[in-house]
Structure 1
Amino acid sequence: MFTTVIDHLISTGNSTFPDNYHDLSEAEQIKILSKATDDIGDLDAFEDEMVRNTLKTIAIIKDIQKSNGERGANRYIISNNQTALNVMQLFAMLKMVAFKDKLTVDVAPLFETIPDLENAPGVMEQLYQNPEYIAHLRARGNKQHIMLGFSDGTKDGGYLMANWGIYKAKEKLTEMSRKYDITAIFFDGRGGPPARGGGKTHNFYSSLGPTIEDKEVQITIQGQTVSSNFGTHDSSQFNLEQLISSGIKNRIDGEKNRLSDADRAVMNDLAETSYQTYKDFKNHPMFIPYLERMSTLKYYAKTNIGSRPSKRGTSDKLVFSDLRAIPFVGSWSQLKQNVPGFYGVGTALKLYEDRNEWNKVEQLYTNSKFFKTLIDNSMMSLTKSFFDLTKYMSKDEEFGDFWNIIFEEYLTTKRLLLKLSGYDELMENEPTSKASIEVREHIVLPLLTIQQYALKKIQELEKAGAPNDDPDKVIYEKIVTRSLFGNINASRNSA
């Protein structure tokens, strides 16, 4: 999009950008962007609708601040941020559209994939070394907002690697920010289920230790989770107390939560093993077809769940990188398989069992509240799984073997989480939460069964060559779509 903006400005004779701008190195482009303050001109002159609307959004931020004060709209998040150039492009646009004299907007890069999380500290150091950008941060109280995406991180790297990758990224970003006298404010993009950063959120924030900045933490709360956690005075008070006390507890227990070198090595090993296992799984030739034809994935696009399309891009062919996290996680939840919340965990733990090094995992579980929280939240994902619902798929000629791969990982993970925790059953230490889950699962099971029946009928009609406007197919598709709403709301944190 920014390329389109530059091309337009060059064609209209804007002196900010030279004709060879796109041929310059990233460092040279950043240097030009740092000093860009010329007025961008008439926004309606941009032919591309997406570009025009994006630039008008910036102008509206200025209008909102004039009417309602700076706090009315003072942050701009860059989705899927990968480089310092991405940040400086927005930095320049903000100034050229509406904030030439004083930039009263915090630029928040969102790092989502595993590689981007690893590169995040280098990206931020490049920005901190930029004179114009660091001057902006000084004017904003020496604070840098950084958003980390649990949902897309899990979709990209699996449950353990995503959470561990975010943990390590926060440590390095904290160290890097403190080096330049900047306070990092982590804005965590957390969804409802553990696979999207949900679960026992207060346990997570009370376990981070002293190596991660926590003077201020901001989190997103999923829609249906807002109503369940904050919909009444009592539940709101309880959950706010949990979040606030988690920060206090983390300060008190700070050094206790510091990972030893030995525990860190085990955590790294577990995360890498689970990551490779998950990558092999999502690269399986049946992975995308299974989601397309056996799950509710494509039906999310027919609802307003998640507020965005089920995939990025306009291609008819489904590509994994185009999938959005909410439909991805939600589709596994509708199948009652909850793959993003456990897949790879069992295989990683089994490696230590097979090597007769189980004691190292037990030590990590005992020493690290962070690791224990990850295990507890994964247990929640397993508790919400119910493979009997889709057991008929195990006999499917095309997808039977793939279903069994998922089921075997579920069984392995369940067995080893029980072994590690010493429990006889999942969530044994949380009887109230478990009872709540069981009640909700019993409520949604009839509707899920109806949904599976409708999906099966659609598959049969498609195999028989029925057209898209076949009356029976239309009815069954409506059943699937409508069932999504009820299942998600009743399950509370399934998407």
Structure 2
Amino acid sequence: MPRIPEYDDKTLRSNVRLLKDMLDEVLQQQADPQAAAIVEQLQQQFTGLQRDGNPTRRQQLHKLLQGLSADTLSEVIRAFSLYFSLLNIAEESTQLQQRRRQIEKHKHYWRGSFHDTLLGFKTAGIGAEQLQPLLDDLHYLPVMTAHPTEAKRRSVRGALRNVFVSNEKLQNTGIKGYFREEALERLQSQIQLLWKTDEVRTRSMGVIDEIDSGLFYFPLSLFEATAQVYRNFHRALVDVYGAEEAGKVRIPGFLNFGSWIGGDRDGNPNVKPYTTALALRLQARTITQEYLRRIDILKDQLSFSLGMCQPTAAFLDSLSQDRELLGDSAVIAERGCLQEPYRHKLALMKFRMHRRLELIEQRILGDSSQSDAAAYNTIQSFQADLQLIRDSLISHGDRVIADRDLQDLIRLVEVYGFHLMQLDVRQESTRHSQAVAEILSAALGIDYLSLEEARRLQVLSEAIAIAGGLGYDASGLSANTLETLEVFQVMAQMRREIGHDCFSRYVISMTHSASHIMEVLLLAAQNGLAGRISGQWYCHIGVSPLFETIDDLNHIDSVLRGLLAQPVYRALLEVSGLRQEVMLGYSDSCKDGGILASAWGLYRAQQQVMAISDDQGIPCRLFHGRGGTIGRGGGPTHEAILAQPPATVRGQIKFTEQGEVLFYRYNNMETAVYELTMGITGLMKASSSLVQAVEPDHADNLAVMSELAQLGERSYRQLTEHTPGFLDYFYEATPVQEIGQLNIGSRPSHRKKQDRSKYSVRAIAWVFAWAQSRQTFPAWYGIGSSLENYCAGNPERLNSLRRLYKDWPFFRNLLGNAQMALSKSDMAISEEYSKLCSDPAIGKSIHSMIAAEYRRCVDWILEIAECEHLLAENPELAASLRRRNDYLGPLNYMQAGLLRALNQDSENENSQSIWMKPLLRTINAIAAGMRNTG
């Protein structure tokens, strides 16, 4: 592949050089002198190998690595890993500086900013008031998951955050002389501390660790980023439309956060009912602590004195009511601020919020018996108090003060409530079917599993309507069924304890029929979450079917129409006040049928879902189960949303945020503001059908993609399902088995132990392992064959694909993401892994197939994009990958050698190989270098 010219950014190069020089100094002072020398030697040797491919250089590289001890290897690997972490910081910091410069020149006018997006709407003829229908429906909902794709320990993430902050201070040209020297010394010491912090976990992560890991980002960045996002939106609205027009627009709460951490039990036996309760209580503690912190800030600020202002009567009445509620406790709380009405009010509010925190702490410790009338027990009461203060401030001419920190807190209350994140519960469909079968057998003697689908739906509908639930003897139920029922008990309890909005949906993985959704509602009805009383339906739970495999995607129409044809389900959905939510799984569909079949199946599925929604008159929201990598639906969020089918987004989108994606997006506040903004503006643009007509897809385009997808799926399945020895190649030519020892998550890497089938291995481990060995083929395999067979010497077909690339966001995004993944692949390096196969012929044969498809993909994508090299249209990303490659290569050679050494040690099963820890370090380092795992 031709060398890509370096992206010309002097600031970035200077930043990289500064951090690398500091790392070199740390290595000289703190590392084994031999290791420091070998780092430089390896990098130079690999650069030469990349330049000319000389076999002698490869032999020299192997010889150098073979002579290294395990301890020396570990230090060398850690040095490479730390370099990548510092490179990531330099790039993030430089991008932030570029946006700041653009803001200084043009307010908020960087591509994808609120200013840029609203200006585009205005240019398209959309006035400020016309925005209201779009804003009223706007709902951006990222969902944090515990899927194990983050290879960094929390300690390392915190240390990297400190390096980022110190590096940021050095970007300020006003820091000179003594102050700059001091800042440099601080940065140097933090890099040294990173060197002394082990990046490999010594114990497995439990579910509680995962909960803590998700909560980590809120006080770190997300609370302030959320407030900043709303401020930026309002400022851009005024800048673009003017204060008078902007004043006519009501800005509703358009951002919320969701979570699967502690609620996702599909294939994870470590998630128990009490785990779900604990997750919500820990979330409640986190947001309550933030409210207390911000109440203190307001209490310090709002020093208005009686006689200097006149609060509203409603505000003064609320003070009297608070004092009556709190009794003697009010006397202590309000001491020292009786002449300052807003401080007085806030002191009483702080007392009530603190009492709420004490209750939460007791419940975390297992005592749910306590209650406290003085504590804030509903978010509405807290919100009302804040609004009273705001209205009162505005009444005496102090809107400018009300619109700052107080308004920020009001926005946070809208976004986070008392639950912080809306928790989804997920379980696999067969668990519900088995539980329902046991209950119906115990209560009514019905053999549920022998029934046809139509009869199942009839029985379920009738059973849900039975007031008070079915009467049955629970002593005869299996442990699995009792646990499944307990989950619904916990959901009912947490709604009472935390608030009605603490849960979002109950997600059913492997949904194959309408009865799978009705089964969940029957189980919910046994615990008072749904049912019928005095002829009135009620429903406090929303259910989302998850369609994952290619076959599942093909059956969406029959499942959804069958479900919505059930009068009982329609009645429950209507009284819940919820939209029907449908979740689409990117990971498993890609693992199942390849990237083309997956991408196209998901595209068509979205069109089908919204067509059913329109036909049935049921509003619907799509939930995208995306991972961090291209092979799991990843890629830039803004472009991904714009690539959805026309008029299918409609203001609302929900998607999973997994593992390392959370770190790269939310570990720093200003980056979090950028990432949230880009997602929200992508949603706004994709939802323009709410305020103006949009061009539908051309039928010819759909026909072309349908043919390409069929060709791509055939090629992918030929490799993964019909090539002898392919799965042996996967297990022997990648570090998939060692990834499980990284201790990065509580979820097993396989659905079934000892099952080495493509179905059993989880999509995360599947993608992670291929990426480590630089094959990354799940993100592109089949595209080259598909394009080649489609064109087959027909110039007109080639020209039609070129037009699609220019004019169709979906097709452009598909090939753009493939270019990114292809750029991270290296067939010469992956050949080293293929030599690990116990059968050399299989290793050579399968690698040859992958390498041939790689070349086809590169050639045909470049032909269609009319470019000379991959990522020619994204030189910044191309340069980033080029900077990493000379350090990634040596790591891959080390990893392949360590896998070989481990295989040789495996004969002695009773001893822990000395090569395991260095190998785990290579996995961490390569993940940092490629900036993604699963």
Same fold, TM-score > 0.5, yes or no: yes
Change (3 A) 1:140 1:366: same
1:186 to partner: Cα distance: 0.5
Contact persistence 2:610–2:648 (CA under 8 A): yes
Partner of residue 29, structure 1: 456
SS in 1 for 2:654: strand
Residue in structure 2 matching 1:417, options 845, 861, 884: 861
Report what 2:800 is aligned to: 360
Distance 1:3 1:362, change over 3 A: closer
Moved more, 221-230 or 329-338: 221-230
Matches within 5 A, 1:69-148: 69-101=499-531, 102-141=538-577, 143-148=579-584
Percent of aligned pairs with the same amino acid: 27
Correspondence for 1:208: 644
Structure 1 match to 2:765: 327
5 Å-filtered alignment, 1:4-403, equals 4-10=434-440, 12=442, 14-15=443-444, 18-37=445-464, 39=469, 45=475, 48-101=478-531, 102-141=538-577, 143-252=579-688, 258-283=696-721, 284-305=723-744, 307-314=746-753, 316-356=754-794, 357-393=797-833, 396-403=840-847
Residue of structure 2 in register with 1:458 after alignment: 902
| 1:109 partner SS | strand
* 8 A contact 1:183–1:213 mirrored in 2: no
8 Å Cα contact 1:440/1:490 also seen in 2: yes
Inter-CA distance 427–41: structure 2 relative to 1 (3 Å threshold): farther
Residue type matched to 1:294 in 2? A
Residues 175-232 of structure 1: per-residue CA shift (max 9 Å, x gap):
0011111111001011111111111221121133434243211111112111111221
Q: Which residue matches 2:909?
A: 468
Kept in 2, the 8 Å contact 1:77–1:109? The answer is yes
Q: Distance in 2 between matches of 1:174 and 1:100?
A: 26
Q: Is the 8 A contact 1:336 1:389 kept in 2?
A: yes
Deviations 1:30-50 (A, max 9, x none): 111123245467997466443
1:410 positional shift: 0.5
TM (norm. structure 1) is: 0.92
Give the SS at the match of 2:657: coil
The answer to whether the Cα contact below 8 Å between 2:432 and 2:484 also exists between their aligned partners in 1 is no
Q: CA offsets per residue over residues 443-485 of structure 1, 9 Å max, x none?
A: 54443332211112233445xxx132244xx333343334333
Kindly indicate whether the alpha-carbon contact (under 8 Å) linking 2:461 and 2:518 is maintained by their aligned counterparts in 1.
yes
Output the amino acid matched with 1:134.
R
Deviation at residue 490 of structure 1 after TM alignment: 4.3
Cα 1:84–1:280 shift into 2, 3 Å: same
Code of the aligned partner of 1:150: Y
In structure 1, distance between residues paired with 2:928 and 2:483: 33
Q: Relative to structure 2, which stretch is displaced further, 425-434 or 125-134?
A: 425-434
Cα distance 1:43–1:63, how it changes in 2: closer, same or farther (>3 A)?
farther
1:190/1:221 contact within 8 Å kept = yes
8 Å CA contact retained: 1:266, 1:360: no
Give the distance between the partners of 1:88 and 1:403, measured in 2 at CA.
46
For residues 412 and 46 of structure 1, what CA distance do their matches in structure 2 show?
A: 60
Distance change (3 Å), C-alpha of 1:242 and 1:221: same
SS state at 1:136 partner: helix
Q: Which one-letter code corresponds to 2:639 in the other structure?
A: N
8 Å Cα contact 1:110-1:146 kept in structure 2 = yes
CA distance, structure 1, for counterparts of residue 916 and residue 792 of structure 2: 46
Provide the C-alpha distance between the structure 1 equivalents of 2:508 and 2:841, rounded to a whole number of angstroms: 44
Distance in structure 2 (CA, Å) of the matches to 1:343 and 1:385? 12
Offset at 1:82?
1.2
Structure-2 change in CA distance of 1:10 and 1:204 (3 Å): closer
Q: Deviations over 1:52-86 (max 9, x none)?
A: 32221221111111111122123111012111111
Change (3 A) 1:424 1:250: same
1:119 is matched by which residue type in structure 2? H
Give the counterpart letter for 2:734 in structure 1.
S
- Kindly report the root-mean-square deviation, in angstroms, between the aligned alpha carbons of the 2 structures: 2.3
User: 2:433, 2:519 within 8 Å by CA — same for their partners in 1?
Assistant: no
Matches within 5 A, 1:440-455: 440-455=884-899
The alpha-carbon distance between structure 1 residues 389 and 47, as it changes in their structure 2 partners (threshold 3 A), is farther
8 Å Cα contact 2:441/2:448 also seen in 1: no
Task: Identify which of 424, 427, 430 aligns with 2:871.
Answer: 427
The alpha-carbon distance between structure 1 residues 42 and 70, as it changes in their structure 2 partners (threshold 3 A), is farther
User: Is the contact made by 2:463 and 2:470 (CA closer than 8 Å) also made in structure 1?
Assistant: no
Structure 1's 256 and 2: CA in aligned 2 closer, same or farther, altered over 3 A? closer
Which one-letter code corresponds to 1:358 in the other structure? L
Q: How far does residue 274 in structure 1 lie from its aligned partner after superposition? A: 0.3
Distance 1:362 1:306, change over 3 A: farther
> TM-score if structure 2 supplies the norm length?
0.50
Q: Say if 1:488 and 1:494, in contact at 8 Å, map to a contact too.
A: yes
Q: Distance in 2 between matches of 1:182 and 1:404?
A: 50
Give the residue type in structure 2 aligned to 1:96.
Answer: Q
SS of structure 2 residue aligned to 1:187:
strand
Greater radius of gyration (CA): 2
Q: Secondary structure, in 3 states, of the residue corresponding to 1:75? A: strand
Could you tell me how far apart the structure 1 residues matched to 2:512 and 2:519 are?
12
- AA aligned opposite 1:413: C
The superposition leaves residues 111-132 of structure 1 with CA deviations (integer Å, 9 ceiling, x where unpaired) of: 0001111111211111111011
Secondary structure (helix, strand or coil) at the match of 2:914 reads helix
Match of 1:436 in 2: 880
Q: Which has the higher contact order (CA 8 A, sep 6+)?
A: 2
Counterparts in 2 of 1:82 and 1:440: CA distance versus 1, 3 Å: farther
> What residue identity is the alignment partner of 1:172?
Q
Report the Cα distance in structure 2 between the residues aligned to 1:19 and 1:279, rounded to whole angstroms: 41
Whole-angstrom distance in 1 between the partners of 2:472 and 2:878: 58
Structure 1 distance, partners of 2:473, 2:773, is 46
**Cα distance, 1:255 vs. partner?**
6.6
Q: Distance in 2 between matches of 1:231 and 1:19?
A: 53
Q: Structure 1 stretches of 5 or more lacking a match?
A: none
Q: Does the aligned pair in 2 maintain the 1:36–1:96 contact within 8 Å?
A: no
Q: Which residue of 1 aligns with 2:927?
A: 488
Cα distance between partner residues in 1 of 2:618 and 2:848: 50
Distance 1:3 1:48 in 2: 13
Going from structure 1 to structure 2, the CA distance change for 1:44 and 1:307 (only over 3 Å counts) comes to farther
